[in-house]
Amino acid sequence: MAITEAVENYLETILILSKEQPDVHAIDICSYLGYSRPTVSIVLKKMKENGLVLVDDDNHITLTPEGRGVAEHIYDRHNVLSELFIMLGVSRDHAIEDACKIEHDLSDETYSVLKSHYLELKQTYGGK
C-alpha cells in the first residue's frame, strides 16, 4: 500500500485521538475527519492488511510501529509548520489550515530547512 496523503491523514488522526482518549474506534475517526463509516472502514481494512494499524476484538484501533512512525512524521510537520506560520504573523486558523495543505507535499530537504529556522526563532524569541 502506498502511503498517500489520505493514509497519512488517517494515521495522523489516529495518533491525535490516541493522545486525547484511551481508546480509538472507527466512529471517532469518522467524527474527526467528517467521513462516512463505510469510507473509514474500507481504508482501515487496507491499512490493517498493510501493517499500519491493529484492530483488537473490541474494535480498538492502534498504530503499529510502522504506522506510528508515519503518523509522528506527519504530526511533527503539521505542528512545526503551524507554529512557524503563527510566528510569522499568520492567524492561528489560517496557519493550521495551510500547514494541513502542505505538510504532505514538502520535500524532506525543504522541511528540514524550515524546521531549523523554526527552532532558531523559537530559541531566540521563546516561541512567541
Q: 67-96, pLDDT tens digit by residue?
A: 999 999 999 999 999 999 999 999 999 999
More confident residue, 126 or 103: 103
The grid coordinates listed for 68 are 506510528
Q: How far is CA 60 from CA 8, 14, 24, 41, 99, in A?
A: 19, 11, 6, 13, 29
CATH 3.40.50.1100 fits 5-64, yes or no: no
pLDDT in tens, 41-57: 999 999 999 999 999 99
What residue spans define the domains of the chain? 5-64, 70-125
Provide φ and ψ at 62, rounded to 5°: -130, 155
Same fold, 5-64 and 70-125: no
Domain 70-125 part of CATH 1.10.60: yes
Under 8 Å between Cβ of 109 and 75: no
Q: What is the mean pLDDT of residues 20-30?
A: 96
User: pLDDT at residue 1 above 80?
Assistant: no
